[in-house]
Every structure is written in C-alpha cells, then in structure tokens.
C-alpha cells in the first residue's frame, strides 16, 4: 500500500468525521458558524485526498482548473451579492446545480465507461440520473416560482396533472429497466428527458406557501443523488456524505411540515392549498363584514403609551424589505421605556428560520426574538401587537374552528393581546387562501399599506409625539 493510498484513507475518514461534526454543530447557535467552517474544511480535505490518490495528467489538471475557476467564481459572486430576502431561491439554485452535477457524471459514465460495468453500477447510473434530473428541474421551478417568474398554470390544479406525472414516472421506470441492456443508447436519453419533466410536473402544481417544504425535500434528493453518484464512481466517502445529507434533509422537511400543519403527502399531491379548497370567500374581500381600519397616526398613539409591544413579522415584511425600518421603530419604543419583543412563528418569512436571518441582518438583538411556545403565554399581558405581513400564522380559527383548513396548526395567539394592529396591503387572503377571524375581532384594527411605508410613518408620527427625545442615553 503506497503512502498516497494511506493518506487518502486517512483524509477520507477525517473528512467523514468532520462532516458529521459540522452537521451536528450547525444545529446549535453557538457552534453553528465554526461548524460550517469545519464542514467546508472537510470538503477541502476530501478533495485533496482524492487528488493525491489519483495520478492526474497535465490535461486533467487543466480541465479541473477551468471547472474550478468558473464554478468557484460564480459561487463566490452569488454568495456575496444575493440579498438575504432571496435566500430560499438561492438555496434552491445551489441545490439544483448539485443535482445537475450528479446527473452529468452519471450520463458521462453511461456514455463512455459502461462497457463491462456490472448491474449495480448500471442501476446506480439510473438512480443518479433520475434523482439528479428531478432535483435540477424541480429546484429551477421552485426558484422560478419564488422569484415570481413562473405562475401556477390552471391545468396543474386539475386531476390531469396526476395522469401526466404518472405517465412520466412510467416512462422513467421503463427507461430505467431498459438502460442496463443498452447504457449509451435511447433509454438513457428517455430517462434524462422524462425525469426532468417529472421534476417540473411535480413541483409546478405546488403553491408558494409549500415551497419551503419542496426546497427542503429537493435538498434531501440532492444528497441521494450524490450518494448514487458515489455508487457510480465507487466512492464510499461520497456515499456516506450523500446519505447523511439525504437523511438530514428528510428530518428538516418533516420539521417544516409539522410547523405548517401539512402532511408531506398533501404537499406533494394535494396541489396549491386554497386553490383546491377556498373557504369563506377565498381571496376576495367580500368575506369580511366587521373590519376596523385606522391610520398610522392612531396606531402611533397607541404605541406611545404601550408598555409591552410585540411585533409579529411575516412574509409581507420580507417582501417590503422593511426589517431595518422595523428595527428603527423598535429602538424608538425602547427609548420610550417599552419592552419590545418579536414573536417568531416557526415558518415566518419564506422558509423556517428565514425571519431570524432577516432580523439579524437588521441588528435586532437575538434575545428579543421569541419562539412561539415562549411568547404565547405572554400575549395576555401585552398592550400592543403589531402584525406585519403575517396572516395564517395568527389566525385564531386554527385553535377554535374545527372546520377551518388551518385547524390544528400551531399559531401565535395574538388575539389574547389588548390591542392588535394588522399592517397589510389589502384584505386579500394569505397563502392558504383562508379568511382570518383575527381581522374582525373588536380589539383588532387594520392599518392598510406597504409594511415599510407604514413603519416609516409610525416612526415619524412617534418622533412628532416627542418619543425618544427625552432619553437620548438609551440604546
């Protein structure tokens, strides 16, 4: 056994260990950042180990250099430029590219190196192509939907889509069975095309609200694709890492489904929620009868005297990029002696944990971000709650109305607070397309407008009332 082989064994084992420690560390706030570095180090170690073991020609180094330069540069630029609000799309994009890489490797091996390959290698190629293609096309569709480039076509909400997807799945199966006897021929291309279309066909009908679940699931798939690629090229390290990420992705997907009171099956096969079951008037405003609306001025007056204020930030806040203005308002209220906190629903923002990132970007102290279970008992002693672009996660029907599609979903109990202001652009329904009983409660007032504009209005109103000037020492 040569020194190079020994070294590559050691580096492989080290890489697996560091990857596992990295993944574990990523789940704790204190260690998350160093854990991310650890995982990156593990990746580097694995690559170095592989490069040392393989005796590479000058030509190979050249191609590696070209691929590294292009992929690395694009990665660095994207990671630095992308706004925090676009994080779900970004993860989807990265993820799709990982799937594409597995797909390309499997296709190349099928085309050029499959003569004499055993059945296991051929089956691995089929899985790698199938999962890789679904990951890629599904991620691209998910990104397009989140960016608003792709709408949900009407036909995808009918039963027709099941027929289409089942036909595509059958095509994949037939091509997959046919591939081992003719690895470089027609079955391969049918498999590539049918799997890609299946990825689109499965993702397209899913509504925006469920997109985080889809991205998480696709993330899991890209792990599976990597593991399959590991079987194709015979790399155990790749199999371990891929399997680890695949399993971890499944857990995360499950966590998200629980938080949104959705089952994975209904996300994948149920179509867009609300499109299928509009309740109480769905997306129009006719369903509401007892709405009180008020101006930012009135809202500011309530805030001036409030001792305890809770903000409930949601998707609308992220869209309006209003997190910095919100922080400004919070500082002003703190200077006025109020206790300010933020109620974070597990799925606030556009994916779980997204709101925490956005508020951290705006320098909101970590201790003020309270999770649902922590803050729910505190709502009865809260003077003012301001709901910013959140809707379904504050709907009291989820607790009290067994006929509501939201029934059973854990929600923030803002209806317990003394006064609730809901900042919203219109009375349009939330993602789930369901009427919100909170809006009609006597203690609720609607402040119509863009979240950022309303918050800026509140800041200037409060300044006019003299708030924050008396105690310049605070914050």
Partner 1 sequence: MSSLSQALWVLLLGSLLGLELIGKVPPTLHTPLMSGANAISGITVLASLTLIAQAHGNPVLLLFGAVSLAFALFNVIGGFLVTDRMLAMFSRKKS
User: Cβ of residue 104: shortest distance to partner 1, in angstroms?
Assistant: 4
Under 8 Å CB-to-CB from 7, ≥6 apart: which residues? Answer: 49, 52, 53
Rounded to 5 degrees, φ, ψ at 433 are 70, 35
User: Cβ of residue 159: shortest distance to partner 1, in angstroms?
Assistant: 32
User: Cβ of residue 117: shortest distance to partner 1, in angstroms?
Assistant: 13
Among residues 20 and 441, whose Cβ is nearest to partner 1? 20
Among residues 75 and 466, whose Cβ is nearest to partner 1? 75
User: Cβ of residue 473: shortest distance to partner 1, in angstroms?
Assistant: 22
Angle at 395 between CA 394 and CA 399, to 5 degrees: 110
Q: E strand or H helix at 219, and its extent?
A: helix 211-233
User: Is 392 an annotated catalytic residue?
Assistant: yes
Among residues 132 and 433, whose Cβ is nearest to partner 1? 132
User: Cβ of residue 439: shortest distance to partner 1, in angstroms?
Assistant: 26
HSE of 444 in the Cβ direction (CA atoms, 13 Å)? 21
* Catalytic entry in 118, 210, 284, 392: 392
- Pairwise CA distance, residues 404 & 382, whole Å: 27
Under 8 Å CB-to-CB from 175, ≥6 apart: which residues? Answer: 187, 188, 190, 191, 194
Nearest residue to 444 via CA among 284, 293, 280, 283:
293
Q: Alpha helices, DSSP H only, in 82-118?
A: 87-112
How remote is the C-alpha of 429 from its chain's centroid? 21
Among residues 225 and 454, whose Cβ is nearest to partner 1? 225
Tokens for 181?
Answer: 């006897």
Contact 172, 130 (CB under 8 A): yes
User: Cβ of residue 66: shortest distance to partner 1, in angstroms?
Assistant: 5
Nearest residue to 375 via CA among 399, 341, 400, 408:
341
Among residues 30 and 290, whose Cβ is nearest to partner 1? 30
Among residues 273 and 343, whose Cβ is nearest to partner 1? 343
Residues annotated catalytic, as ranges: 392
């Amino acid at each position: 056994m040569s020194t190079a082989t020994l070294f590559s064994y050691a580096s492989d084992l080290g890489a697996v260990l560091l990857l596992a420690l990295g993944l574990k560390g990523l789940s704790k706030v204190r260690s998350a950042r160093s854990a991310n570095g650890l995982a990156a180090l593990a990746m580097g170690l694995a690559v170095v180990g592989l490069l040392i073991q393989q005796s590479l020609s000058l030509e190979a180094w050249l191609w590696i250099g070209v691929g590294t330069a292009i992929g690395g540069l694009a990665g660095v630029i994207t990671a630095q430029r992308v706004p925090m609000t676009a994080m779900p799309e970004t993860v989807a994009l990265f993820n799709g590219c990982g799937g594409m890489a597995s797909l390309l490797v499997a296709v190349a091996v099928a085309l050029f190196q499959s003569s004499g390959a055993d059945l296991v290698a051929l089956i691995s190629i089929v899985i790698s192509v199938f999962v890789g293609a679904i990951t890629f096309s599904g991620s691209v569709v998910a990104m397009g939907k989140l960016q608003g480039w792709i709408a949900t076509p009407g036909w995808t909400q009918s039963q027709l889509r099941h027929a289409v997807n089942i036909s595509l799945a059958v095509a994949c199966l037939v091509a997959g069975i046919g591939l081992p006897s003719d690895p470089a021929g027609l079955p391969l291309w049918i498999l590539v095309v049918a799997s890609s279309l299946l990825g689109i066909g499965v993702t397209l009908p899913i509504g925006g609200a469920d997109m985080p679940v889809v991205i998480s699931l696709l993330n899991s798939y890209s792990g599976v694709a990597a593991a399959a690629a590991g079987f194709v090229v015979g790399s155990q390290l790749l199999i371990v890492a891929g399997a680890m990420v695949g399993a971890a992705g499944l857990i995360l997907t499950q966590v998200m489904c629980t938080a949104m009171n959705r089952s994975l099956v209904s996300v994948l096969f149920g179509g867009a929620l609300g499109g299928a079951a509009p309740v109480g008037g769905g997306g129009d405003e006719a369903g509401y009868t007892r709405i009180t609306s008020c101006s930012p001025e009135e809202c500011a007056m309530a805030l001036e005297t409030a001792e305890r204020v809770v903000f409930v930030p949601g998707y609308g806040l992220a869209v309006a990029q209003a997190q910095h203005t919100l922080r400004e308002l919070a500082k002003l209220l703190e200077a006025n002696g109020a206790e300010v906190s933020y109620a974070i629903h597990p799925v606030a923002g556009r994916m779980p944990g997204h709101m925490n990132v956005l508020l951290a970007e705006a320098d909101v102290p970590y201790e003020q971000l309270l999770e649902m279970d922590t803050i729910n008992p505190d709502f009865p002693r809260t003077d003012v709650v301001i709901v910013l672009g959140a809707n379904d996660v504050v709907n009291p029907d989820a607790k009290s109305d067994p006929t509501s599609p939201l029934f059973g979903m854990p929600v923030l109990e803002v209806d317990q607070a003394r006064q609730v202001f809901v900042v919203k652009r219109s009375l349009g329904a939330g993602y789930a397309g369901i009427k919100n009983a909170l809006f009609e409660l006597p203690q609720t007032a609607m402040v119509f407008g863009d979240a950022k504009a309303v918050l800026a209005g509140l800041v200037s109103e409060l300044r006019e009332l003299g708030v924050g000037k008396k105690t310049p020492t605070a914050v």
